[in-house]
Amino acid sequence: MWTILTSKVQKALWPRGASSRPFHIGREALLLIALAVLCAVFASQSEFFLSERNLTTVLRNSVDLSVVCAGMTIVIILGGIDVSVGGVLAVSAVLIGRAYQLGMPDWVVVPIGLAAGAALGALNGTIIARTRVPPIVATLGTMYIFIAVLFLVIGGVWISGLPASLSFLVLGEFLGLPAGLYVIGVIYALSWYLLRRTPWGQHVVAIGCDEGAARLVGIRVDRTKIQAYALLGLFAGLAAVLYVARLRNVEVNIGTNIALEAIAATILGGANIRGGTGSLLGALMGVLFIKITQNGLVLIGVSSLWETVVIGGLLIVVLVLDAFETRRVS
Amino acid sequence: MTDPLKLSMRGLVKRFGGVVALDSVDFELRRGEVMALVGDNGAGKSTLIKTLAGAHMPDEGVMEIDGAPVRFTSPQDAWNRGVATIFQELALAGKMTIADNIFLGREIVRKVAGIPFLDRREMHRRSKELLERLDVVVPDIHTWVEYLSGGQRQGVAIARALNIDAEVIVMDEPTAALAVAEVRKVLEFIKALRRQGKSVVLISHNVQDVMEVSDRITVLRRGRRIGLLETANTTPEEVVGYITGAALAQKQQLEQA
């Protein structure tokens, strides 16, 4: 069904035929339809849903996940995965919180948060590239370590009352639009440029398709991997900056769900978990799908536990349909 | 009047534990020549081409390109020295376009306001040229490689070798998995390479293909070179005789008599 639908949409949008499509136009169009249906359902059940205030809230809640998801898309296209991004975000956030408590100014604190994220991402990438441990296992290991670091530093107590000097990045408004939208725009434009318009992006895709082939043509596979994970780490560090800017505290359970949500959004958005293909735009729509589901279910009075059921179920449906499509092609 | 040697290997020995895969093998290749490499399973063909491709380091022996000694430490090393080996799996990225594959690792970049961007237009233009030189027909240059036929993929892999200006192109069983019409096409590619002065090593089980495109034939058997034949002066029966060892036995009988 999905296949038939996607091929129909593809033919409409991409007349040269499915075989020549360089990106997942079909998936993105379908997600747009799914989002419209979702919004229509929630809007019919809650008159508050489509209010400007609620939509702004959804957007603000989506900023950190969106930023992380851009990096996750690149890592998944590379044929990797990173389940430790929540831990990276947490460690960066703790460092940011402590730095603020020591009275450091924004221009010191922000680079600390970004550098910490990039360094931990690079650590993940180095372990994966050098030891050839499967990325899911390697990052599961580092996730436990990062979470332990969080608890050791934070000691079970929230860091709170942090300055509001950067809150405008998420909560502010610019030219009539929420500031978070610009942050997302800049990060996705940058990611798109790196992935689709540079040799580096070509190498990422090639490694995701066939690592051996990439090595044979002289691509520096290990270095590219480390850079991709470091980029994801950098984005997780930025997400930590934005998180602290928005909520002005660091809680003990910070970053708990973000890795799984980012992976889910990326796959909903059309990325192949085996690497090689994926879509930044699709991933961003996947984020919106998840965040709108969370928001809408709360508004119409359904327990938020159902949100995970909806997203988990949808993920399985997408993966099964992908598997069918892969079998059909081969 | 013979062409100068493009590549030569002398006294090549490769052991795996107690097994001698190559036992003092000599191999040579002239400029603009198609040299077929034939032999039964286990004759040492794979070991020889892996050595040529930089995937194996020989235990003994020397290798020369244009008369200068070389030693490949990795497949990239071999590619950089102009020896491109096209393995059966082809090393193409399935979910990338033809041009992206041909230029993989050697992308063309154009600066816009100081920022480097992939120059897709130029890569497409040059890819088209390369494919035309080889007479490779593809439905659309923007097609993902995984949607191409086996013969078309061979064409893309060869175009990539031409793009790095490879002088020696080693093809491992290029026709093994192809339909008849596709085989014709790949044999034409090989002839096109010879016309352009490239040296080709063709590994094949198919004696018919070998007879059609090769200039000379190297026959390996049990790790030794037992025959170096001029294709024009031999017959398929003789080649098969060498491969199976029958020719060798006959020769020994003649010598004894």
Give B19-62 as a DSSP string.
Answer: EEEEEEEEEEEETT-EEEEEE-TTSSHHHHHHHHTTSS--SEEE
- State how far the Cα of B52 lies from the Cα of B12, in Å rounded to an integer: 11
A209 to chain B: closest CA residue: B93
Q: Say if the Cβ atoms of B105 and A219 lie within 8 Å.
A: yes
Residue A118, chain B, CB below 8 Å: the answer is no
Is residue A3 very low, low, confident or very high in pLDDT (cuts 50, 70, 90)?
very low
- State how far the Cα of B218 lies from the Cα of A317, in Å rounded to an integer: 55
The torsion region of residue B63 among left (phi > 0), alpha (psi -120 to 50) and beta comes to beta
CB B204 within 8 A of CB B38: yes
Residue A203 has pLDDT above 50, yes or no: yes
How high is the pLDDT of residue B4? 76
Residue A15, chain B, CB below 8 Å: the answer is no
Of A199, A209, A217, which is closest to B94 when you measure between CB atoms?
Answer: A209
Cα A228 to chain center, whole Å?
13
Q: Say if the Cβ atoms of A206 and B143 lie within 8 Å.
A: no
Residue with token string 């996607």: A6
Signed CA dihedral, A108, A113, A114, A115: sign only: positive
Residue A138 has pLDDT above 70, yes or no: yes
The domains of chain B, with CATH numbers, are: 5-91+169-256 (3.40.50.300)
- Sorted by where each begins, the domain ranges of chain A are 59-318
B75 to chain A: closest CA residue: A216
**Structure token digits, residue B23:** 């036992």
Average pLDDT over residues A104-122: 95
Of A20, A22, A205, which is closest to B93 when you measure between CB atoms?
Answer: A205
Q: Say if the Cβ atoms of A209 and B160 lie within 8 Å.
A: no
Is residue A72 very low, low, confident or very high in pLDDT (cuts 50, 70, 90)?
very high
**Of A6-20, A129-143, B80-94, the least confident:** A6-20
Q: Say if the Cβ atoms of B93 and A210 lie within 8 Å.
A: yes
pLDDT, tens digit, 9 for 90 and up, residues B76-96: 888 888 899 888 777 899 999
ipTM: 0.82
In the three-class reduction of DSSP (H, G, I as helix; E, B as strand; rest coil), residue B205 is classed as coil
Is residue A151 very low, low, confident or very high in pLDDT (cuts 50, 70, 90)?
confident
Question: pLDDT above 70 covers what percent of chain A?
Answer: 92
How high is the pLDDT of residue A329? 64
Residue with token string 């352009």: B196
- State how far the Cα of B122 lies from the Cα of B141, in Å rounded to an integer: 12
Residue A139 has pLDDT above 90, yes or no: yes
Q: Say if the Cβ atoms of A213 and B93 lie within 8 Å.
A: yes
pLDDT, tens digit, 9 for 90 and up, residues A45-59: 988 999 999 999 999
The residues of B whose Cβ lies within 8 A of any Cβ of A are 75-76, 79-80, 89-97, 100, 103-107, 109, 116-118, 139-140, 142-144, 146-147, 160
Residues of chain B with pLDDT under 70: 1-3, 257
- State how far the Cα of A138 lies from the Cα of B233, in Å rounded to an integer: 61
Average pLDDT over residues A244-263: 89
Residue A19, chain B, CB below 8 Å: the answer is yes
Concatenated DSSP letters for B153-182? HHHHHHHHHHHTT-SEEEEESTTTT--HHH
Q: Say if the Cβ atoms of B92 and A213 lie within 8 Å.
A: yes
Bridge-based pairing state of the strands B60-65 and B109-112 = unpaired
Select A59-318's CATH number: 1.10.3470, 2.10.70, 1.20.120, 1.10.3210. Answer: 1.10.3470
